[in-house]
Structure 1
Amino acid sequence: MDKFTKLTGVAAPMPLVNIDTDMIIPKQFLKTIKRSGLGVNLFDEMRYDRQGNEIPDFVLNKPQYRNAEILVAGDNFGCGSSREHAPWAIKDFGIRCVIAPSFADIFYNNCFKNGILPIVLPQEDVDKLMDDAERGANAILTVDLENQTISGPDGGEIKFEVDAFKKHCLLEGLDDIGLTMEKVASIDSYEARASIERPWV
């Protein structure tokens, strides 16, 4: 998993509440078990019409937001079914950070396991960042995980909270497998001892 330390990028505004996982990645795209290739279908039903043509007014189709790396969204982001494809699609599109007043619990935790930083902020702070994000190509935010700050284009700074263990995992690029591999020496030692003590197993 890629490490997350400091991210400077364009922030896209999506001031919608209750964006659920079916909106993020519709059910017809859940047949794959690969984490790559889903970005093209992120927000599919909002990005494309029935003929598969881009809808120009959708934020991520606008030229200034096509390379957005940060998403500023409304309350209860990632609600609905617990599909892990949702953070896969977000990450594959290129978004590494989502900022909202609240997240659905399962989606929130899945983000950390897939190298995405979800940041919970009071509504008034989200409103400020939403205003910054509406500046188009000038909507540049810097998210510093080590110092837990978000810096806006005007130099203002917002502090955010994050669980210490989840922060460590993102900073070190550790998913569940990576965390297990940190203990590989102890696991090997246990297995060697177990094979001697219980050779019949």
Structure 2
Amino acid sequence: MFLILVQLDLPSNAKIQGGKLAGPYKALQLHFHWGKDGGPGSEHTIDGARFPMEMHIVHIKEEYDTLDQALADDTASYSALGGVSLGRLVPPEETLAHYFRYQGSLTTPHCDESVVWTLFETPVLLSRKQLSAFCGLRSPRGTRMVNTYRPEQPLNGRKVYYSGGGLPLLSTALLICSVLISSGPSLHSAS
């Protein structure tokens, strides 16, 4: 599988902690997955419904210096996108306490099962024009960058938790994701 992503590198002082995570995680980058011409492209669903696009914010444990240290292999190719404000890409601060969480895998090769997924309940809305800009991007080979997502995977018995309660949910979650890469102990509850 040859996968090209749009990626923005983030400052390491952007951190996530709490919510029963094993410790603080620092941000590395964010990247996007999308479909074709406004069609389904998210890697997560809500009750089977798919969104046109999904953003992953990748964090690693603070003791790691690089993603290579957190993962044995990072084989994806990337296309750079500049001049984008992170503040315009994340849900409003007052909604960040509402999220879904589960243990899963990376969605890019080798799909290592070393991820704690945090999915915000509030999606970030994009206009048709903004979504079309992503669908118009070209890879270094000159081909259109569309359908840059991994197909939906079964839960395989995984439990999805909601930050507002300790009970697992039956469906997976939303459009905006934080990816926490860890080889350490796993999360058991998000209450």
The bucket for the TM-score relative to the shorter chain is under 0.3
Structure index of larger Rg:
1
Answer 1 or 2: which has greater strand percent.
2
Q: TM-score, normalised by structure 1?
A: 0.22
Q: TM-score, normalised by structure 2?
A: 0.23
